[in-house]
Amino acid sequence: MKQTSTFELETSCGAPLVAGCDEAGRGPLCGPVVAAAVIFPNRDIDIPVIIRDSKQMTARARAAAYDWIVANTVWAVAHCTPAEIDELNILWASMLAMERAVASLGVGDVFCLVDGNRVPRGLNGMAVVKGDAKSLSIAAASIIAKETRDRIMSDLALRWPQYGWDKNSGYPTPSHLQAIEKYGINECYRKSFGPIKERIKNETSHD
């Protein structure tokens, strides 16, 4: 199985410790934004699973990769709540979640390869556009972040099954928007996001 991403960036930056960083959940209407940081302590290790951009993997392949990454790397996850997203906006909440994930690694000085075009202010590293297609560490972080967030949303769906979060992960699918229209919103929703903000505005104007 050929990996599309490699350790070339990790090696070329010359730092003793290199963490890949990525987040999941910037687009959904509800739930936290989740970030992950992953360090491969041994880049010569045989990797028996596919590790690539999590969005391009099947659920089964992603779950297998998640289990292998958890068992063979140094990793951490962190999140920002819907309330924090509303307070900071989704960009800065994503940055804060990544800072928290790196801090949770507990390894001291680490150079971060961050997916996207911006490095969080509290981190030392470089931004890598489409990094989850280039760096194995970033790709691994994308898998950890997405799997963790999907599991959070599935757990929340047990409490609020009417919204279908176990299937839509909180994204604004037609069926999810219909459920919001029928059942309203709860504390899991991001009140600063367009459809939710508009609903609150309409409800307030009708009071």
Residue 3: the pLDDT is: 63
Q: Using CA atoms, how far apart are residues 192 and 171, in angstroms rounded to an integer?
A: 15
Residue 138 φ then ψ, to 5°: -65, -45
Query: In the chain, what are the domains?
Result: 8-206 (3.30.420.10)
Residue 203: the pLDDT is: 76
Residue 2: the pLDDT is: 52
Residue 148: the pLDDT is: 98
Residue 50: strand pairing partners: none
Q: Using CA atoms, how far apart are residues 165 and 156, in angstroms rounded to an integer?
A: 7
User: Which residues, other chains included, contact 58 with Cβ-Cβ below 8 Å and sequence gap of 6+?
Assistant: none
pLDDT along the chain (207 residues), means of 10: 80 94 98 98 94 91 97 98 98 98 95 97 96 96 98 98 98 97 96 93 69
Residue 202: the pLDDT is: 80
Residue 4: the pLDDT is: 73
